[in-house]
Amino acid sequence: MSRFEEVIDRKGSSSVKWDLTKTVFGKDDVLPMWVADMDFLPPEDVLEALGNRLKHGIFGYTFVGDPTADSIKDWIQKRHGWKIEKSWLQYSPGVVPAISTIIQALTSPLDKILVQSPVYTPFFNLVEDNGREIVNAQLKYQDGSYSIDYQAFEESLKTGVKLFLLCNPHNPSGRVWKKEELTKIAELCKKYNVVIVSDEIHSDLVYKSHTHTPLASLNDTFRDMTITCIAPSKTFNLAGLQASAMITPNSELREKIAGIHKKQGFFTLNTFGISGMEAAYRHGEQWLEEILDYLQENVKVTKNFLEEHLPELTLVDPEGTYLLWIDCTKLKLSDEELKNRLLDKGKLALEPGTKYGPGGEGFVRMNIACPRETLLDGLERLRVALG
Ligand SMILES: Cc1ncc(COP(=O)(O)O)c(C=O)c1O
C-alpha cells in the first residue's frame, strides 16, 4: 500500500480546509476539497527535523541562516536548473504576504497592476486591499485549454501598468507556461517597463512531459525585472509552517522590499518554518517524486470517472498543480445553482469558479491531493450533485 493511501482525520486540528466549512460554506457535513493543501503527511525527514527541533525545547529568537539559504539555492538549481545567489533571498511567512509587501514596495496607491484571470483569488484582493487598481488580461479558453491573448496583454500594459502578477504554473488552470510563452510576455513587460512578480509556488508540482521554467532564469534582462516567489508549502504540504522566499536578483528592487519589511517590523520566520523548509528542500526529493506519481494517478482516476459518469463536465487537463479546474458550463446552471447542488445534494465543498474572476463562471476547482478513497468519495458526491 502506498503511504499516501492513509486517511488521516484532520478535523479539530485548526485546519482551514476541514474545520472552517461551516464558516465558509455554511455547512459542517460536507467533504472539503477546496483549500489548496494536501491530506498527506509530509516527508519523514521533515517530521524528524521538526521533532528534533521540538525536543531541543528552547524557542528563543531565531534567524534564517546559511544552511537554510543553501537548501533553497541547491533545490532551485537541481529541480529547475536556475543558479541563484543566496544574497538574492528574502523571506516571508507566505507568498500572499510576500506579494502584498512587493505591491507596497514597488507601486503607489492607485497604480495599475496586471493579472490574468481566472486566477488565484488573493491576486485581486491584494491589489484592491492595497488601494491599487486591477487591470485584467483575461486568458483565452479554447477547446478545453488556456492560452495567453498577447494582444489583450499588450493593450493592458499600454494603460500604464506598473506591476504584473504572473501565476507560473497557473492556478486554477493547471497550465505550466512554456519558455516561448514566458519569453513573449516578459518581452512585452520589458517594452512597457513593467516589473514582474512570478508566483512560482506550484513550480515543483509539475506532471511528466511538462517542465517548469523560472521566468527569471530565461535571461539577464528578465532576471533583473522579476521577483520570484517560492515556498515549500504546496510542494511538501507545509502551509501551516508559514515559510516562503522571494528571489530578487536586482538589488534596487530588493532594497525597496527590505524597506517595507523594516516598516512592518518584519525580521524573520518562525523556528519550525525554518527547520521544516530546510529539511524539505534538503531531503524531500524522493517523497516529491512519489507524490507526483500518486497525484498523476488521481488525475487519471478523475478524468476516467468524469468521462464515464459526468460526460457533460470537461476536465481542463492539468500540466501541473493538484487543483483540477472543471468546466461545468454545458450544464447551463447558474453559479448559485451549481453551488447549491454541490453543497445540498452532493455534500461536497469545492471552490466556485467565480472566485477566480472573469472567466471562472460555470467552473469549479477541485483539490485532489487526498488519498484515493477520499477522492472516490468526492467524485461520487460530484456525480450525485451534477449527474
Ligand atoms: C498561486 C498561489 N500563490 C500563493 C498561495 C498561498 O501562498 P502562502 O500560503 O504561502 O501565502 C497559493 C495557495 O493556494 C497559490 O495557489
351 Cβ closer than 6 Å to some ligand 1 atom? no
The pTM score is: 0.98
Tell me the C-alpha distance between 210 and 174, whole Å: 11
Q: Are 298 and 207 contained in the same domain?
A: no
**258 and 295 fall within a common domain:** no
The domain total for the chain is 2
pLDDT tens-digit map of 76-85:
999 999 999 9
Contact 198, 226 (CB under 8 A): yes
Instruction: Measure Cα distances from 341 to 131, 230, 326, 338 in Å.
Output: 36, 36, 15, 5
CATH number, domain with residue 290:
3.90.1150.10
Residue type, 348: L
The closest residue, in CA terms, to atom 9 on ligand 1 is 94
Give the DSSP letter of residue 226: E
Atom of ligand 1 lying closest to residue 36 CA: 14
245 C-alpha vs ligand 1 centroid, how far in Å?
Answer: 12
- 175 occurs within a structural domain: yes
pLDDT reading at 215 higher than 90: yes
Residue 48 domain-assigned (yes or no):
no
What is the number of other CB atoms lying within 10 angstroms of the CB of residue 256? Answer: 17
Q: How many helices (H) and strands (E) does the chain have?
A: 15, 15
Q: Which of 369, 255, 298 is nearest to 10 (CA)?
A: 369
**Do residue 237 and residue 308 come from a single domain?**
no
Give the DSSP letter of residue 344: I
Which of 253, 283, 313 corresponds to the end of one domain?
283
CB distance 38 to 360 below 8 Å: no
Q: Assign 10 a pLDDT band (cuts: 50, 70, 90).
A: very high
Residue indicated by cell numbers 527535523: 49
199 CB under 6 A from ligand 1? yes
358, three cell numbers: 472573469
pLDDT digits (tens, 9 = 90+) for 187-207: 999 999 999 999 999 999 999
Q: What is the bridge-based pairing of β-strands 133-136 and 112-115?
A: parallel
Same-domain status, 172 and 321: no
Residue 367 belongs to domain spanning: 3-43+286-386
Q: From the CB of 369, is ligand 1 less than 6 Å away?
A: no
Q: Mean pLDDT of all residues in the chain?
A: 97
**pLDDT tens digits for range 331-353:** 999 999 999 999 999 999 999 99
Q: Identify the residue whose C-alpha is closest to ligand 1 atom 4.
A: 95
Residues 246 and 318 in one domain: no
Which 3 state secondary structure label does DSSP give 86?
A: helix
Query: Is the CB of 233 inside a 6 Å radius of any atom of ligand 1?
Result: yes
Distance (Å, whole) CA 124 – CA 170: 15
The last residue of one of the domains, among 257, 283, 309, is: 283
- Does residue 293 sit in the same domain as residue 149? no
How far is Cα 322 from Cα 39, in angstroms, rounded to an integer? Answer: 12
| Residue matched to cell numbers 516561448 | 180
| Residue whose C-alpha cell is 460555470 | 362
| 1 — pLDDT class (breaks 50, 70, 90) | confident
Q: Is the pLDDT of residue 13 over 80?
A: yes
Task: State in Å: Cα 167 to ligand 1 middle.
Answer: 10
Residue 49 lies in a domain: no
Report how far residue 91's alpha carbon sits from residue 64's, in angstroms, rounded to the nearest whole number: 8
E strand or H helix that includes residue 152: helix 150-157
**Mean pLDDT, residues 149-157 taken together:** 98
Res. 172: pLDDT tops 80? yes
Are 13 and 27 within one domain? yes
Report the percent of the chain where pLDDT is more than 70: 100
Question: Does residue 323 have its Cβ closer than 6 Å to ligand 1?
Answer: no
d(CA 384, CA 376): 12
- Final residue before a domain boundary, out of 223, 253, 283: 283
**Cβ count near 288 (within 10 Å):** 17
pLDDT one-digit tens code per residue, 227-275: 999 999 999 999 999 999 999 999 999 999 999 999 999 999 999 999 9
Instruction: Give tens-digit pLDDT for 286-328.
Output: 999 999 999 999 999 999 999 999 999 999 999 999 999 999 9
Q: Residue 98: what are its φ and ψ, rounded to 5°? A: -65, -45
Structural domain includes residue 52: no
For residue 370, being part of any structural domain is answered with yes
> What's the 28 CA to ligand 1 centre distance in angstroms?
25
Flag whether 230 is in a domain: yes
Q: What is the pLDDT of residue 2?
A: 83
What residue type is 246 in one-letter code?
Answer: M
Query: Is the C-beta atom of 94 inside 6 A of ligand 1?
Result: yes
For residue 273, give the CATH number of its domain.
3.40.640.10
Same domain (yes/no): 294, 256: no
pLDDT tens per residue, range 98-138:
999 999 999 999 999 999 999 999 999 999 999 999 999 99
Is the pLDDT score of 218 beyond 90?
A: yes
**Whether residue 298 sits in one domain with residue 152:** no
Query: For a pocket test of ligand 1, which of 175, 234, 237, 351 has the largest count of ligand atoms closer than 8 A to its C-beta?
Result: 234
Question: Which residues lie below 8 Å from residue 45, measured CB to CB, with a gap of 6+?
Answer: 279, 280, 282, 283, 284, 287
Q: Is the CB of 291 under 6 A from ligand 1?
A: no
Report the pLDDT value the prediction gives residue 153, as an integer from 0 to 100.
98
Distance of CA 362 to the CA centre of its chain: 21
320 φ/ψ angles, rounded to the nearest 5 degrees: -160, 175
Check pocket membership of 203 for ligand 1, CB cut-off 6 A. Answer: no
- 203 shares its domain with 97: yes
Tell me: do 173 and 264 sit in the same domain.
yes
50 part of a folded domain? no
Q: 129 in a domain, yes or no?
A: yes
Per-residue pLDDT tens for 362-387? 999 999 999 999 999 999 999 999 99
Contacts 24+ apart (CB under 8 A), 374-380: 374/7, 374/31, 374/39, 375/298, 375/301, 375/302, 376/301, 376/305, 377/31, 378/31, 378/33, 378/348, 379/301, 379/302, 379/305, 379/306, 379/309
Please tell me if the CB atom of residue 239 comes closer than 6 angstroms to any atom of ligand 1: yes
- What value does the mean pLDDT take over residues 171-175? 98
Burial of 34 (0-12, 13-18, 19+ CB in 10 A): buried
Q: Whose CA is nearest to atom 7 of ligand 1?
A: 95
Same domain for 109 and 223? Answer: yes
Q: Which atom of ligand 1 is nearest to the CA of 167?
A: 1
Q: ω before 232 within 30° of 0 (cis)?
A: no
d(CA 374, CA 38) in angstroms, rounded, equals 12
Question: In the prediction, which pLDDT does 196 show?
Answer: 98
